[in-house]
Structure 1
Amino acid sequence: MTRTSLTALLGVFFVLTPSTTQVAPPINVTLHCGNLRNKVVWNYDSLPPGLRFRVDVSQLWGSNGTLWVDPPHLQADVSFLFDPDNDYFLTVTAVLGENQSEPAPADGIDFSYYRNSPASQICSLDLPPVTVLEQQDHSVLLSFQHPWLLYQQKLSSHSGSRKKKRHEQPDDLLPVFKYDVTINQKQFADLSCSERVCEKMLPVDPQQEKHCVSITGVLDKIKVDGTQDYCALPVKGNKVVVVSVLVSLLVLAGVAMVFIMCCRQRTKASFGPPSSLDVSHSPFICTLTPVQETADKATCSVSSLHDQELLSNPSGEPDGDVQEEEEEEEEGYMGGDNLEEDLLESVNPYEKRCAV
């Protein structure tokens, strides 16, 4: 057989043989579920054009369903699968045109929110935040919000017999939440709550310096787990805090009293008589301008003499010598003949001012 005929035969063989493309399945298919939120994720090495992913969902009670996901997305939201009365099974398949991969994972993923389900993956709820307060009588007080208030929007949307059971009870009546508490490896079982705020007082070992609480429960067939161990402060720590607060309050009260006393002293001092009114012992000094000096000289002299008289004669009776001097001055003033000449002779070029 010649080379040309061999090439032609191979060409006919490839034309007559249907082209099949091997599609690789997704890898690392994982389901994340909890708090009524479910998400399935996976990886894929290469994404050729036209590749799509199909998520096949089957359930124990009910019809099956299919979700399509286009790259580059490599996840699907399946939060609608949360009924605790049902079990679910899903797989992910890569599809390219008319070809498709094997479902992944090979044995599928089965899960359920029913706590006693035989499924390989059990989904649960997180307990709302818990407060632990240590009491003086060797006990602790637990308090937390009823879990139904956190998840009621989705849990109350169940159909079928679940709605029939709930329509007879009042809206404000919450379903019973049953839970167990463990404190320092000591278990308190079969506790229950149907109030909006669940509270429980439990005894503790006084020999233990630290009291840590773990809580697990069941709400409407769904498992509820605490997100952590909730620890209370020891009694000694509480006493230190109380003493520190009291000392701080006492210090602030002392500072406030000192401030008030200082303000009162300043207020009393501000109401005393002003210094400007104390002029009884101030000397009287005359300073006159050149024009007014002679005219006001007599007035200044009289004022000065009057002050001297008050100092020398406190009784106020006129002295003989002073009286004679006053009479002489009156006679000189009443004359008035030489007044103009005296003014001209006594003019001083320097200005004088009368000041106290």
Structure 2
Amino acid sequence: MRILIYISVILILIQKSTSEAVSRPSPPVNVSIQCDNYGVEVHWEYPDLSQDVHFLVEVGMSVNHNERKYIDTTRNLSLNISSMLFNSAYNYYFVTVTAVRGGNHSDPRKSVIFSFSELAPGDKKCYLDFPEVELSPKDGKLHVQFINPLHLYRNTPALRNLTDNLKYTVETEEDQTDSTCEMETKTCEASIGFSELREVYCINLSGQIGDRRLNPRRRSCFKGDIRNYPSFTVYLYPVLAVVFTLLIITGIIMLLVKKCYSEIKKKSRAAFPDFLVFKPKQTHLCEPLKLYPEAVASDLRIEPKEQTTLIEMSSDESSSSGDKDVGSCDLDNVSPYGDNDLDEADPGDSTIGYDCPHALRLEMSPGDIVKGYGH
């Protein structure tokens, strides 16, 4: 009887375990961690998504060697767990994912242990990427410039509650330079010198913030000349100063010449008489004459004059008449002792014996008569 009881109990337990195994969902697979500059995500795979399941995500961390867990649920195959990470500078984490269907839970699947700290234990290290670097020549050196990661990644869980500064190293083929960028500085800068000229200048950058390391940036190169050349203003300002000085000197000379010319002009006017000073011409006297038409009667007629009759004279009459005319009109050939009686005449009266009223009257003094007679 007891044997039958034991057999029945065993069959019941086997049936119960079989039924439970059939009702429990299958566990997720390939649980992985992806951490970058802006957060941490956990990813997994599930073989049968047609089942009505959701996933339970537990984030475990060690705080002073005491483990704590934070739980969240999702129906997706990934979950961002950045808000569930605390004290990322010193802690290490792991994630457990469980499938849930109804009230049944699958077997949990655990991720690898990961951490942002170089000193914390873990299978996976999460690093921040080094920012983009700008290279340019400056003062004969290679100028390195990039955005401070403390400003660029300020919202990432890796930099939460941070009090450390950035320490970075610039490495060249010749040497390496260590620098520090303060938390308040937005842009980090450094100048790297080279002992010889090259066609291409290349550097490697690496750095860390406290215990959090940045992914190194390999072989950032600048192609060109980094030698120091004087700027354009070095030549511009002296040239402008010389030109300005010459303009001032020229203006002063012109003022002096103008002043000396005015003084010389005043002295020259005082040295010569007024009649030698040329006065301005009266331009109004040079205006051309204006011709005005004279009013003439339109019915004016010219009548011919009467013709004069020429009387032919004989030779005797002409000769006598000529002698008479000469005797009465030519004063130069009249004898002073002839018919004119010049001795009895008044010397002051020059009209005596002159019977040609139509001729030009000549006034002569007695002396002139005597001189004429002598000739």
TM-score by length of 2: 0.50
Segments of 5+ residues of structure 1 without an aligned counterpart are 1-12, 167-174, 244-313, 332-356
Segments of 5+ residues of structure 2 without an aligned counterpart are 1-10, 233-287, 301-375
Max Rg structure? 2
Give the Å deviation of 1:212.
2.5
Task: State the match for 2:143 in structure 1.
Answer: 141
Correspondence list, 1:192-341, <5 A: 192-194=180-182, 196=185, 197-204=187-194, 206-226=196-216, 229-235=219-225, 316=290, 323=294, 326-329=295-298
Distance change >3 Å, CA 36–CA 15, structure 1 → 2: same
Give the Å deviation of 1:229.
4.2
Distance change >3 Å, CA 330–CA 180, structure 1 → 2: farther
Task: State the match for 1:188 in structure 2.
Answer: 176
Give the letter for the 2:125 counterpart. Answer: I
Indicate conservation of the 8 Å contact 2:139/2:227, yes or no.
no
Alignment of 1:112 with 2:110, yes or no, is: no
Distance change >3 Å, CA 28–CA 227, structure 1 → 2: farther
Structure-2 separation of matches of 1:200 and 1:237: 17
Give the Å deviation of 1:189.
4.8
Give the Å deviation of 1:93.
2.0
Task: State the match for 2:124 in structure 1.
Answer: 121
Structure-2 separation of matches of 1:330 and 1:117: 143
Q: C-alpha offsets along residues 95-141 of structure 1, whole Å, 9 cap, x if unaligned?
A: 22343333335xx321001023331111122333322112352x211
Alignment of 1:85 with 2:87, yes or no, is: no
Size of the alignment, in residue pairs?
A: 222
Indicate conservation of the 8 Å contact 1:91/1:109, yes or no.
no
Give the Å deviation of 1:217.
0.8
Give the Å deviation of 1:204.
2.7
Give the letter for the 2:37 counterpart. Answer: N
Correspondence list, 1:50-61, <5 A: 50-61=52-63
Indicate conservation of the 8 Å contact 2:138/2:226, yes or no.
no
Give the Å deviation of 1:215.
1.3
Structure-1 separation of matches of 2:138 and 2:14: 87
Structure-2 separation of matches of 1:32 and 1:232: 33
Distance change >3 Å, CA 53–CA 129, structure 1 → 2: same
Indicate conservation of the 8 Å contact 1:146/1:193, yes or no.
yes
Structure-2 separation of matches of 1:330 and 1:104: 147
Q: Matched residues, percent identical?
A: 25
Structure-2 separation of matches of 1:199 and 1:152: 19
Give the letter for the 1:135 counterpart. Answer: K
Structure-2 separation of matches of 1:156 and 1:119: 19
Give the Å deviation of 1:54.
1.6
Q: Relative contact order (alpha carbons < 8 A, sep ≥ 6): 1 or 2 greater?
A: 1
Give the letter for the 1:190 counterpart. Answer: D
Distance change >3 Å, CA 238–CA 42, structure 1 → 2: farther
Tell me the C-alpha RMSD between the 2 structures: 3.6
